[in-house]
């Protein structure tokens, strides 16, 4: 169904039009899925880092000595976590790159839910339990 939405001839501008993505060697096992998500949103995907790209998808701390990182710097590419592309695909729009640094950890993103009215000074209503936090983080 999502492919139909993105490939619709009536849609004039796709969210990742003008974006060129290169995926780090460390994420080689995810490349096919990332390629599909990128192209479905109108982006281009390059398989070698000698071709200029606008976004470098990698995970973890960047090694400034690595060839891929040096190329990303040379091209002034945004360095983002794979979750950036996944989120763009999920919502069908380009999301802010700055929210998805390469050190982003989706397991540490928690949504806090208050179970009471704001006038209640009861501590349990303002500090969600660990169980509530685990439940909300697993909903992603």
What is the mean predicted confidence (pLDDT) over 109-116? 50
Kindly report the average pLDDT of the chain as a whole number.
79
9 pLDDT more than 50: no
C-alpha of 132 from chain center: 25
Residue of 44, 26, 27 whose CA lies nearest to 35: 44
Asked if residues 42 and 15 have their Cβ atoms less than 8 Å apart, the reply is yes
Q: Which residues contact 42 (CB under 8 A, 6 or more apart)?
A: 6, 13, 14, 15, 16, 17, 19
Distance between terminal CA atoms of the chain? 20
pLDDT at site 29: 95
Query: Which of the pair, 107 or 95, is modelled with greater confidence?
Result: 95
Query: How far is 24 from 20, CA to CA, in rounded Å?
Result: 13
pTM, to two decimals = 0.69
Q: Where is mean pLDDT largest: 37-41, 61-65, 133-137?
A: 37-41
Domain annotation for the chain: domains and CATH numbers: 2-104 (3.40.50.10190), 110-138 (no CATH)
Confidence of residue 110 (pLDDT cuts 50, 70, 90): very low
The pair of three-digit structure tokens given for residue 21, joined into one six-digit string: 């993505």
4 pLDDT more than 70: no
């Amino acid at each position: 169904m999502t492919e139909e939405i993105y490939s619709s001839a009536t849609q004039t501008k796709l969210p990742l039009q003008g974006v060129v993505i290169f995926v780090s060697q460390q994420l080689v096992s995810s490349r096919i899925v990332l390629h599909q998500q990128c192209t479905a949103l109108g982006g281009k995907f390059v398989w070698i880092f000698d071709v200029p790209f606008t976004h470098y998808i990698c995970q973890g701390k960047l090694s400034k000595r690595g060839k891929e990182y040096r190329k990303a710097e040379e091209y002034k590419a945004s360095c983002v976590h794979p979750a950036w592309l996944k989120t763009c695909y999920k919502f069908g729009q380009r999301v802010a790159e700055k929210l998805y640094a390469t050190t982003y950890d989706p397991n540490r993103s928690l949504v806090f839910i208050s179970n009471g009215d704001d006038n209640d000074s009861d501590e349990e209503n303002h500090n969600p339990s660990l169980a509530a936090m685990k439940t909300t983080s697993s909903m992603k």
